[in-house]
Amino acid sequence: MDAKARDIMVREFDTVAADAPLKEAVKKLHEAQVRATGYKAFGIPVVDSIGHVTGMLSMFDVIYHLRPPFMNYELESFSAWEGELGPYLERFEGLKVEEVMSTPVATAEADDHVMVVMDRMVKRRARRLPVVEGNRMIGMIYLSDVFHYLCKSWL
């Protein structure tokens, strides 16, 4: 198993700009193509005009920010919650990706060994790592792709 990040990374991936409307990014996530492994992306890298990764937007980020702010206070249940989703979706209309994205972003270098990639994913609890070469994003490694690579090699 001498694979490097470049050997298992996905070379076709969507990106979004930090100043893009959040709705545009959510649409990209919702309509993402299913990869050869049978999975689709749960997150999308946020890049600047020259391809540098500045953040990551995941389905979790979207759902976290969609909830009413009072729910951030670790309430296990809130029986008075009878609200509709509509008003909270309306709040999203004016939001930009940069207001919801996660930073900083863990990345992998193109020549990182697959064990380094796995270690970084585990330690950061990252489900995806942008692969960079000279600070420019050239690929994406998803947890499911690493898992399938290991199964193919091991089983």
Residues 57-81 have pLDDT tens digits of 999 999 888 876 666 666 666 555 5
* Number of domains forming the structure of the chain: 1
- Domain holding 40, by residue range, is 5-154
**What angle is formed at CA 54 by the lines to CA 49 and CA 59, rounded to 5 degrees?**
115
- The pLDDT of residue 84: 62
Query: Per-residue pLDDT for 28 more than 80?
Result: yes
Q: What percent of the chain has pLDDT over 90?
A: 54
pLDDT tens for 99-152 read: 999 999 999 999 999 999 999 999 999 999 999 998 789 999 999 889 988 888
| Half-sphere CA count of 134, side-chain side, radius 13 A | 2
Inter-residue contact 62 to 26 (CB < 8 Å): yes
Given the structure tokens 């898992």, which residue do they identify?
147
**CATH number for the domain harbouring residue 25:** 3.10.580.10
- The pLDDT of residue 24: 93
